[in-house]
Amino acid sequence: MRLVVVGNGMAGSRLVAEVRERDPDVRITVFGAEACAPYNRVLLSNVLAGTSRPEQVRLLDPSWYRAHRVEAVLGSPVVSIDRDAGHVVTGDGRREPYDVLVLATGSEPVVPPVPGVERAIPFRTLDDCERILRAAEGARRAVVVGGGLLGVEAARGLAGRGLPVTLLHLAGHLMERQLDVEAGLVLGETLAGLGVEIRTGVSAEAVLEDGVRLTGGEPAEADLVVLACGVRPLTGLAAEAGLEVRRGVVVDDELRTDDPSIFAIGECAEHDGTVYGLVAPAWEQAAVAADVITGGKALYRGSRLVTRLKARSVELAAMGETQLTEEDAEVVRFSHRARGTYRKLVIRDGRLVGAILLGESDAVGTLTQLFDRGGPVPGDRAGLLFPGLSAAPVAGSPVLMPDAATVCRCNDVTKGQIRACWEAGARDVAGVAAATRATTGCGTCRDAVEGIVGWLCEQEGITV
C-alpha cells in the first residue's frame, strides 16, 4: 500500500509515526511545506520566552525517517490532487501516486486586512518565531494584536525577555472563548503585573512604522508588531479536488472524507460540525486514522477540550462550558484578584461540564479526570476547588493517584503506564517521554511526571 501524507506538522508527523508502529511494510511518503523537521508548535511560546531552544521542540529527528523507511519531502508543498489518477502534484512538478491519502494541512494565521499589515509578524511557525526574536533584539517596545491563547503566550514571552508589551484585543476581556468575564479580568491583571499593558475593546486600523493606529486614531506605540489574530483551516487543496468542505474538510467517524481513499486529520478537519484547534484532538485523530488505514477498527467520537496555559508566573486550565451561569447550571466559584487566583466549577445533572482554574492550583488533575470521564461530582464542592482542605484523597498526589488516572492528556498516558516504563528501566523524565510520549505535547504534565518518577525512585531508594 502506498500512503501519502500531505502536511508534516503535529498531526501529519504523528500519523506517520502511528502508522509505522502498526505496520512496518506500508510505503509512506510525507510532504511538508516547511523545510525543517516537524516541531511542537505548542511550545513555540517557550522559544519566544527563551526557556526552550528551537531544537528542543523538535518532534521527529531527520534520522527517524531514514531509520523507519519513511520518505520525507520537506519544503515541497502539494499544490493539487488528481483523484482520478490517484496522485498528488507538488509545486516543483513531482507527481506522487497514492492508494491512501491523508490531508494534515493544518491552519494558516488570520491576517487582518488593514494598511501596513505587512510590517507585522504573524506568530504561527518556527520561522515566524525566529523573525520575532531577531526583531525583538533591537526593539524598545512591542505590540501584540489578539488576546486569545496564542496572543497571551506571545505577550508573556516577549515581556519575559524584558521588552515592554501592549496586548490589544477586540473583545471585552482576554480569551473570551475559554474564560468568563471575571477570569479574563484576573488574567489581565496578572499579565499587567508581569509587564504587559492590556487594552481590550480595541481594534487595529493600521500598522505604522512606529506602532499601531487604533480605530478612532489612538496610537499604540511599538517598533515590533506581532499578530495573533486566530487561525483558519487550510482547505483550498481539498476544495479544489472536489472534496466536501465547510469550515474544515468534512470527515466521518473514521476520519474519511467523502472520497473513501482520502482522510483528513488535525486543524484542517471538521468532524461532526467541529474543527479542533488543539493538539490532543489532532493526536487522537491520528491514532484512529492509523488504525483504520492499517486494517484495524476504530472510530473517532470527538474530543473533550481542555485548554492549558503555563507560562512563567501564569498558570491556567479551562475546560468545557465555562460560560454557563447560575440560571443554567450549578456554579461554584472563588476569586482572589489580588493573588491572581480564580476558580470556577460548572456542574449540571451532578456532573462537571466546565471549569476554570487560574493561578497555581493542585486541583487541576482531579478536575480534568472528572471532566474527561463524566463521572458524578462529589458532594464536597469546596474540597474539589481546594483539595488540601478536604479529607478525601487527592488524585494529584503520586501516592494516592490511581494507576488509571490520566497524567498526560495530549498523549493519553496514565500513571500506570509511567509506572510500567519506570519498572522497565526508565529512571528519568526523558526515559519516560521516549517510552510513552508523555510531556511531548503541551508540556504542562512535566511536573506531574517528574513527581511520579521521583516518588517511584524514592520508594526503591534509588538516587538519580
Q: If you write DSSP's letter for every residue of 384-421 in order, what string do you get?
A: HH-GGG-SSPPTTSTTTS-TTSEEETTTTEEHHHHHHH
Kindly report, as residue ranges, where domains of CATH 1.10.10.1100 are found in the chain.
397-464
The number of beta carbons lying within 10 Å of the beta carbon of residue 126 is 19
* CATH no. of 397-464: 1.10.10.1100
Decide: 283 and 263 in contact? Cβ < 8 Å.
Answer: no
Which stretches of 103-200 are DSSP H helices? Answer: 126-137, 149-160, 181-192
Which stretches of 213-278 are DSSP H helices? Answer: 236-240
% residues pLDDT > 70 (the chain): 96
Q: Within a 13 Å sphere around the CA of 388, how many CA atoms are in the beta-carbon half?
A: 2
Angle between helix axes 149-160 and 181-192 (nearest 10 degrees) is 20
Q: What is the three-class DSSP state of 3?
A: strand
Kindly report, as residue ranges, where domains of CATH 3.30.390 are found in the chain.
321-395
pTM: predicted TM-score of the whole model, two decimal places = 0.88
Among 77-91, 343-357, 406-420, which is the least confidently predicted range? 406-420
pLDDT tens for 221-270 read 999 999 999 999 999 999 999 999 999 999 999 999 999 999 999 999 99
Kindly report, as residue ranges, where domains of CATH 3.50.50.60 are found in the chain.
2-108+232-293, 117-228
pLDDT tens for 335-373 read 999 899 999 999 999 999 999 999 987 788 888 888 988
Copy the grid coordinates of residue 53. 531552544
Copy the grid coordinates of residue 444. 504542562
Q: How far apart are CA 324 and CA 328, in angstroms?
A: 6
Among 84-88, 207-211, 325-329, 407-411, which is the least confidently predicted range? 407-411
**Using 50, 70 and 90 to split pLDDT, how confident is the model at 388?**
low
With the C-alpha atoms ordered 332, 335, 340, 341, is the resulting torsion angle positive or negative?
A: negative
DSSP 6-71: E--SHHHHHHHHHHHHH-SS-EEEEEESSSSPPB-GGGHHHHHHTSS-GGGGBSS-HHHHHHTTEE
* CATH no. of 2-108+232-293: 3.50.50.60
First to last CA, the chain: 45
The number of beta carbons lying within 10 Å of the beta carbon of residue 39 is 24
* CATH no. of 117-228: 3.50.50.60
Architecture of domain 321-395: 2-Layer Sandwich (3.30)
Q: β-strands 87-90, 95-97: how paired? A: antiparallel
Q: Has residue 394 got a pLDDT over 50?
A: no
Copy the grid coordinates of residue 441. 505535547
**Alpha-carbon dihedral 78, 128, 433, 415, rounded to 10 degrees:** -100
Q: Has residue 391 got a pLDDT over 60?
A: no
